[in-house]
Amino acid sequence: MSIDIYWRIGTHGDQPSLRRRVSSRGEWAPVAPGSLAPGVRDGRRDGYSYVEHMADVARASESSGFVGGLLPSFPFTGDPWATAAALARETTTYRFMIAYQPGFLHPVQAARMSATLQRATGGRVVYNIISGGGGPAQLWWGDRVDHDDRYARTSEFLDVLKGVWGGGPFDYEGRFYRVEGAGLPEPLARQPFPEIYFSGSSRAAIEAAGRHADYYLSWLEPFPDLAAKFAQVREHSAAIGRAPRFAVRIDVLARDTEEAAWDEIRRGWEHVDPSALSSPDGDSVGWLRSQSFVSWPVRHHRELEVSPNVWGGFHLLRGGPAFGLVGSYEQVAERLDELIGIGVDAFILAGVPHLEEAYRVGEEVLPLLKGSVHGRASGTAVRGAL
């Protein structure tokens, strides 16, 4: 058994720490003294671009032992396909997990793009398939397809993409896509098909994941609830003769001691807007599910610790999912081992700021995970650890 461990590369700038929810890296905020990538020297920009900074993060996480990096995709980010192409030459074995919504690409074009990138990188493309959480963000893309139909569209998209990849001629007629005689040319068709990490917590998402996922990807939740969700996916997948693996996306705040880690959270909490301390609205089933584990409103940051080291307030300190791990290096490694014990086969870890925390987590946490047999069978190889 092997465990793949990815890092996250911010495609929309970065914060200097969880204590300050402002963008200091990249041009997603006004460039001023104190900014990085680009920075300001003697009143002028220093010429160091954010793309160069992302390359630093990719190289840092590769050299720290991560198997690859997730490239997120939102209305407020750069494009992950173009970013992967730009960063591939900066790394050697590093995989690029490209997040995208199938509704905004035709599957034949997606197959051609992916196979071309596979050929250029030596097979280092991985898919993070997301079908969208609805609401204003979905309308930004011009997408008005209803929730369950978005997952039906995703299934059709992947049916066509896989069919075309085989070289064709491939015919398909569905609700959302129709192709006749499609197929990739031979040099592209023989490229390895990317592994699929499939996100979504609704019944429609779990059904689609059962058909297509190599890895069912979830945000972090309290461990018993996560195990129950995995059981649902296993049950549906088994009914159609498939057995997906499982992955979890986790923010990590790890320090030498538990006290030092919680002190970072406390200092960030001092800047939280009190109006945010109630259950937020959202259209994503996964988001609403994550908020159901917390009793709102909250008054103190430790009220969001739903189990040892599992904290549900990261979204208040940076954009993204709510739950992550807070504790000493040893405690975080122990929690990751526990997750492996309930069936997790891969992780996407993240920390703010991405560059410095890639080194910290790679050097201080991953070696502890590799050397431990707690919660998993001996002989487990951690692909992504030193």
Predicted TM-score of the model (pTM): 0.91
Helix spans in the chain (H): 50-63, 80-88, 107-121, 135-140, 147-165, 186-189, 203-212, 223-239, 258-269, 285-291, 329-341, 354-364, 366-371
pLDDT at 284: 63
Residue 383 has a CB neighbour count (10 Å cut-off) of 13
Q: How far apart are CA 156 and CA 164, in angstroms?
A: 12
For 307-338, the pLDDT digits (tens) are 999 999 999 999 889 999 999 999 999 999 99
Which residues sit opposite 178 in a β-bridge?
Answer: 173
pLDDT band (50, 70, 90) for residue 377:
very low
Summarize pLDDT for 197-249 with one digit per residue, the tens. Answer: 998 878 888 888 888 999 999 999 999 999 999 998 898 888 889 888 999 99
| Token duo for residue 291 | 């908020």
Share of the chain above pLDDT 70, in %: 88
**Phi, psi for 48 (deg, rounded to 5):** -85, 115
pLDDT in tens, 87-143: 999 999 999 999 998 888 999 999 999 999 999 999 999 999 988 655 666 666 666
